[in-house]
Structure 1
Amino acid sequence: MTGIPSLADLVWARGYTDPAWARRHTTSGRELVPSRSVWRGLDGASALPAAPAGALDDLTFTGPHGQSLTLTELLSRAETDALLVMHRGLLVHEEYLHGYEPHVPHFNASAAKSYLGLVAAVLAHEGHFDRGTQVAKIVLELAGTAFGDAQVDHLLHMGTQMSYAGRPYDKALEAQRYFAVLAPQLRPYGYTGPTTIREHLATARATAEPGAEFRYENGNVEALAEVLRRVTGTTTSALLSEMIWSRIGAEEDAYYLLDAEGSEAACGGFSATARDLARLGEMIRCGGAIGDRQIVPDAVASTIVSGVPDGYPHRVRFPAAPPEAPATLSYHDLWWIPNDPYGSFMASGIHGQRLFISPALDLVIVHYASQVISPSVPQIPLVQAFLKIGTHLCG
């Protein structure tokens, strides 16, 4: 990679209007704020048997303006850092761009929400908590807040409505305020707001009954993470390591970014290598198992698509979609569901991070990118591209 920015200057890149700045952020998180490892365990890395499918290079894809793009052109426009495609358990495509290296953990952004949702679903399935329990009964200091008044299941489906510190709710501004809580260098001069995630959550007041509407908001995930810490008595990092990361044959430790009191940024502060994320996806695709070893109960892994509870919206709009876009997706346990014919679902992050799993196509795709987020920069239709890859491989 050329022209890489200095970490010391990253504070001046608020908004990440250049992909090089975004890429510096997505690959260097633990150099910017404190972090905690998600241990890979003592076992050796599990194999990712390869069977390259060179024919993918001959495919054409539809771009954001309806133009025809080759795979190389698509990845370039998506500011792709890594693309891994697994089909029927074989690694058929693995590509790294812009100097990103396979052993370096990459920022997953909001894709991390789905991994926490998986952990929560397993713990609920095993009886560690009841989804219908009011959050304040588990996390006492959230009593009287929008999250404390909600049930755990509301958090898992983005079912709360709130305003923070009496402000009118604005999704983009609240996301920036959350980043300021986590990273002191992102705080404006004279900042007097919350300095920890829990302090931030404590300022949330309900503006509607929980469960009435879908609103994609980081606070739901941070409140859920605190619930899981109280229920299990351990950190988010240790919990993910014990339940999943140390059991999938990961090659590298993953890590979470931490706030000032050592709580993980569960809604988006997670980084891992693309190969290890592919292992996670394969485990889920195979009903929660790796070979004859069950990692996640099949009853959890097989109901991500079918488990949207009654009373919740079954069609929602992707956060980056324009207001006039139709609501076509579903959302369950912090996973996005495209409602395609193949039972697909995905974890999704703001800069183009995707873990895409399509059981009927026997497909797992990991996409890491450093996209600029701006109304003037059209987003690449990645899901359509993934489905074309999957149907081609099945053909």
Structure 2
Amino acid sequence: MDGRPMTFAKMLEETYTDGIAVLHRGKLIYERYFGALKPHKPHIGMSVTKSFTGVLAGILVTEGKIDPQAPVTDYVPELKASAFGDARVHEVMDMTTGLEYTEVYTDRNSHVWGLRRANGMAPIPPNYDGPTTIFDFLVAQKKQGEHGKAFAYKTVNTDVLAWICRRASGLTLSDLLSERIWTQIGAEEDAHYHVDRIGTESGGGGLSTTLRDLARFGETMRNHGRFNGRQIVPSSVVEDISRGGDPEKFKPAGYTTLPGASYRNQWWVTHNPHGAYMARGVHGQGIYVDPKAEMVIARYASHPVAGNAANDPVTLPAYMALAKALIAGG
């Protein structure tokens, strides 16, 4: 955002892109791979995983298996004594819970590192006596502030939502994703979940897919849940997400690269003139859906900086420029 002119190709280089796929009206118009990534190889999606969890929860809501207004403890009574003991499901879906938990990737004392140790993404240090499974970590969460007041990005919400999805469906998260989405969109390759020491999937950051399959999921969202001529995700789920949440609740979180944005059911909604919305993960993972330009961008990356504030000033203007070019080209 320093005013330098930049090509799309230069943007990919400057943001450590591993692979990018662009769909326009459902056609693959651009696909490039860098470094070790290849079309058939999976790449971890980090927090793009959350958006899959949100869509699965949305499907279960439309089936009447989850009530967003219900207390979390209706589904997971084990959380009664935790911060989530008086939270409602929709507050977990939209991350408006009041939690002591912090998510600062550069601070090894931040709670996100405790979550990483619990979910198996970080090693257990010597003499560690904290939680070593996702469930144990979640039941130990403490409350801070009020639920429902403001958005605060905290991965533990998504892991609670994944737990609710398991209980409501009677399936593991991987079986639920396989049954409701993966087999339905005609994915080319298997997807994989990172699991903790007892086999619980990381619903907040553990999904790995190929780039093309990530793009297929994005295209399903752009088409209001339809893909391959079939309604896979109820259109009401996609429309609820794309409408977005409350920008006033989002504002206190201080995302300077996302002015006027909101967060809805594990998706980031820009409220820009094109109505674009996104799945986002640390180090530059993303799905960018631009309904007006009929464009979907799927991207995997290895940016050395975790937070997307390092990517946004370069990637978001490039995506908008490409969208405008596609609209102008008809």
TM-score normalised by length of structure 2:
0.92
**Of 132, 139, 142, which aligns to 2:76?**
139
- Say whether the 8 Å CA contact 1:317–1:327 is kept in structure 2: no
Instruction: Structure 2: give runs of 5+ residues left out of the alignment.
Output: none
**Is the counterpart of residue 359 in structure 1 residue 291 in structure 2?**
yes
Residue 274 (structure 2) aligns with: 342
CA distance in 2, matches of 1:118, 1:231: 14
CA distance in 2, matches of 1:185, 1:113: 19
Instruction: Structure 1: give runs of 5+ residues left out of the alignment.
Output: 1-63
Distance 1:336 1:94, change over 3 A: same
- Say whether the 8 Å CA contact 1:317–1:329 is kept in structure 2: no
Name the Cα RMSD after superposition: 2.0
Considering fraction of residues, name the structure with more helix. Answer: 2
CA distance in 1, matches of 2:192, 2:41: 11
Which runs of structure 2 are paired with 1:1-395 in the superposition (5 Å)? 64-163=1-100, 169=102, 171-172=104-105, 173-183=110-120, 186-308=123-245, 313=249, 315=251, 317=253, 321=255, 327-373=259-305, 378-381=310-313, 382-395=315-328
Percent of aligned positions that are identical: 36
CA distance in 2, matches of 1:365, 1:148: 38
CA distance in 2, matches of 1:362, 1:184: 36
Equivalenced residues, count: 322
Amino acid corresponding to residue 186 of structure 1 in structure 2: P
Residue aligned with 1:346, SS: strand
Amino acid corresponding to residue 394 of structure 1 in structure 2: I
Q: Deviations over 1:189-245 (max 9, x none)?
A: 321110000110111121122111111101100111101111111100000110101
- Say whether the 8 Å CA contact 1:77–1:380 is kept in structure 2: no
Q: Deviations over 1:55-107 (max 9, x none)?
A: xxxxxxxxx42212222221111000001100111111000011311111111
Amino acid corresponding to residue 324 of structure 2 in structure 1: T
* Aligned-residue offset at 1:187: 2.6
Indicate the structure (1 or 2) with the bigger Cα radius of gyration: 1
Amino acid corresponding to residue 210 of structure 2 in structure 1: T
* Aligned-residue offset at 1:380: 4.6
Residue aligned with 2:242, SS: coil
- Say whether the 8 Å CA contact 2:174–2:201 is kept in structure 1: yes
Moved more, 228-237 or 155-164: 155-164
CA distance in 2, matches of 1:253, 1:116: 17
* Aligned-residue offset at 1:316: 5.9
- Say whether the 8 Å CA contact 1:139–1:148 is kept in structure 2: no
* Aligned-residue offset at 1:185: 5.5
* Aligned-residue offset at 1:327: 4.7
